Each structure stands twice: as C-alpha cells, then as structure tokens.
Amino acid sequence: MIRESHDYLIKLCTQVRRDILRMVHLANSGHPGGSMGCTEYFVALYKVIMNYDSKNFNIEGKNEDLFFLSNGHISPVYYSILSRCNFFPLKELNSFRKINSRLQGHPTPYEGLPGIRISSGSLGQGMSVAIGAAIAKKLNGESTVIYSLHGDGELNEGQIWEAVLYAGAKKIDNYIATIDNNGQQIDGTTDDVLNLGNIKSKFESFGWIVLEENEGNNLINVINIIKYAKNYINKGKPILIILKTKMGNGVDFMSKDNSWHGKAPSYEELQKALIQLPQTLVDF
C-alpha cells in the first residue's frame, strides 16, 4: 500500500537528490553519482514497499522487513531516506563525513545509528549478510522479506558469486536482491573494466528468478517491479531485480558520467545542479 501520495513521492525524489548533493558538497567528499541514480529505488523501498518501525529501531528487526546496502559508498542516498523516514533527525545530515559523526562515508552501526544494521562498503559482502538474515527469519518462523542492493561493478567481486551459488542451491526464497545496473564504475564503464556479460542468464543458471526493469529512474516502474517480485516469495528460489538506472540522474551534466562516481560538486556546480532540482520539501 502506498503510504504517501504519488505527488509527494515524486517531490521526495527531487528533495533526496538535493540532500545528496548538498551533503557531498558540504563534506567536499562522497559519492553522488550512484546515490542519485538509486533515488527512486530507496524512495520506493522505504516509502511504499517495506514494513518497518523507524521509531523503535533495533538491530534484530523482529517481524520487520530488513534492507542491507552492499555498495556502501552510496551512503548519501541511504542517509537521506532514513532521515526522511524518521530514523534520525533531518538536521543530522549536516554532519555527513565529519569527525565523530554517526554518518560516516560508509554506513556503520557504530554509535548505534538507527536504520543501519551492518557496516558496508567492502564490496561483495552484503549479499552474504542478507542471505544469513533471510535464513534467520525462516528459522524464526517470520513471513518477512529481506532486501539488498548491489552495484553492477560490485559483481567483479568473487564473494558475490559464492553467495549467488549458495542462495540458489539452498533455495533462499524470502530474499529479493537488486542490482543497480548503471553501466558505470569508478574506473570507467563496466564493459571496459570487466565485461559482465549476460547478468540475467548468469543468475538464472545459479537457480534464481530474475526480473528486469529498464526504467529504473521511473518511480512507478520501480514500485511495480518490486511489488511484482514479491509474488515469487516462498516459491523456492531467490529473486533478483536488474534495475537499469542512470548515474547522476536528475542533473544534466552529471547524468551517465562515471567521473561523478566519487567527486564532490564545487559551489558553482552545486548551484547549477540545484536549479535543476528545485526545493520541494524542507532542506536539512
């Protein structure tokens, strides 16, 4: 059930992108490109799809759906949506990447940051953790769902494929993984760095159900593909969504440009970008 109006969700997507750019600029450090490309996914997941209690957060998350961010460098979008879902105060976004802040460059549960259950950013590890959580939920008799997000460049990591093999072989079917398929990574395009081939066929050969959405920056499409994926829960196979997005989506000079993988906008670039992302809700 959509908890907010469609108009509000669209406005939130714009506001989250403002948050990302302002946070990274303020810290003069961070990863805006992938964060902006995944904005619709986070808004869909946290405002429409998942069941959780942001007011009474605990690590175990009993009887709640759980999300694990594996490509932890896109923490700006994660922190923005968590704050806007009342896990912690919006004003805390001002502390992004500052010394002694709870909002470090890569998410960590250190100091008890609500919404964060694992440290992430060492690429390749998130799927293994998500599978463990999915197994625990089954053992506890819960009917909840585990979600995880991964970058396409992250598929270069061997641990990912060990986890893919395990999940398929052990029929981990209360789990929906998503790949942010923007075709970009820090050193160039995924085709140039290490061609991934046919991702769909690879996962299917390991026993997964694979769904594809070519408009990963269309909010309605993203909501619908995740809802559709839930139809396959408890059907004997893990589920993968391949979400085609645009790095830096929302700002013309950043879109599909891998140089914005890990670069902070200058003051002039920030102002130029914010003109394209007019304030829709309250800035932090």
What does the domain layout of the chain look like in residue ranges? 6-276
CA distance 64 to 66: 6
Inform me whether the pLDDT recorded for 256 exceeds 50: yes
Rounded to whole angstroms, the Cα distance separating 188 from 213 reads: 23
Instruction: Please say whether the dihedral angle defined by the alpha carbons of residues 81, 157, 222 and 241, taken in this order, is positive or negative.
Output: negative
| 175-181/239-244 β-pairing | parallel
pLDDT at residue 79 tops 60: yes
pLDDT of 1 strictly over 50: no
Query: In angstroms, rounded to a whole number, what is the distance separating the alpha carbons of residues 46 and 275?
Result: 26
Q: How many helices (H) and strands (E) would you count in the chain?
A: 10, 7
Indicate whether 108 pLDDT > 60.
yes
On average, the pLDDT of the chain sits at: 96
Q: Chain-centre distance of CA 230, in angstroms?
A: 17
**Whether residue 3 has pLDDT greater than 90:** no
What pLDDT is recorded for position 186?
A: 87
Does the structure show a pLDDT above 80 at 138? yes
The percent of residues in the chain predicted with pLDDT above 90, rounded, is 95
CA dist., res. 262 & res. 202, Å (int): 29
Sorted by sequence, the CB contacts under 8 Å of residue 259 that are 6+ apart come out as none
| CA–CA separation, 212 and 243 (whole Å) | 6
Percent of the chain with pLDDT over 70: 99
Q: In the predicted model, what is the mean pLDDT of residues 86-112?
A: 94
CATH H-level, domain 6-276: superfamily: Thiamin diphosphate (ThDP)-binding fold, Pyr/PP domains (3.40.50.970)
pTM of structure: 0.97
CA dist 135 and 128 (Å) reads 11
Of 89-93, 173-177, 257-261, 276-280, the poorest mean pLDDT is in 257-261
Q: What is the predicted pLDDT for the residue at 111?
A: 81
* Distance between CA atoms of residues 249 and 38, nearest Å: 9
Residue 188 pLDDT exceeds 90: no
What is residue 200's predicted lDDT score, i.e. its pLDDT? 98
Question: For position 162, what pLDDT does the model report?
Answer: 98
pLDDT band at 195 (very low <50, low <70, confident <90, very high): very high
